Structure 1
Amino acid sequence: MWPELPLEFNVIGTPVSFQSDNSKAKGEWKSKVLAAAMAAIEGGSWAFDETRLAVTMFYFPQSPMPGDLDNIVKLTLDALQPNLYLDDELIDRILAQRFDPAGSFTFAAPSNVLVSAMALEEPVLYIRVAEVPLEDVAP
């Protein structure tokens, strides 16, 4: 039986850039991402092999994030392959956003996982994997 989407989980810590020269830090980040994903999956490991996916990443730093947001996306997505999806070619949509720790923001209907990410007092990357939404596509 396939798991129910969306799948949401939080990765505590500061994401590592794909462009980092520190291969140990990159490996540790990928391990953290995979462990958080596997902990959120009921019934053990599985991997999508045909379902088209959308991935949302919201980064909540505790201080302003140096560097480019896009550099954390690839390493994080790579960490989930082949355990969550067999190939990142299945990802058709990516939404990534960082939130200013000094800023004020609200979500219309946040999930419990997103609320828990916003409540943490340490850096956290909220990740949501869902089927690709087509609400923006005209028939």
Structure 2
Amino acid sequence: MSCPHIAGIVSLLKALHPEWTPSAIKSAIMTTASLLDNMAEPIKNSFMVNASPFSYGSGHVWPSRAMDPGLVYDLDTMDYLNFLCSLGYKSSQISTFKPYKCPSNLTSLMDLNYPSITVPNLKEPVIVVRRLKNVGTLGTYVAHVQNR
């Protein structure tokens, strides 16, 4: 049932913010999700034990918070095309969809401007870059890093 619920929320957000890109809408939904269910309890898996991010993804959707997330991670077509190049796809393969030439200096897969962060084969400290776009009122935001 998640698909029709998310589709409805996306439709409402697009109606409220027609200037938002699909990536901005996805970011708003992901970054405002709660790690608690609608009873304010930790999300459970099918065995009724506390779930992990691998079970619940971004969490329990909170549509009223997604309407005004403050900041979003926004991506455009070039970001996705560069991501495909970084995955090893060739320009000729990508050009099946859109004429494109992969850049000579590929970006790190970890730097896809996406609301979640994946660091494969973490063996030493890494720097991960994200760009945020303010879609709300001006304010001060503070980043917190939490190890899980």
TM-score (norm 2): 0.27
Would you tell me which structure has more helix in proportion to its own residues?
A: 2
Radius of gyration: which is bigger? 2
Give the number of the structure with larger relative contact order, counting CA–CA contacts within 8 Å between residues 6 or more apart. 1
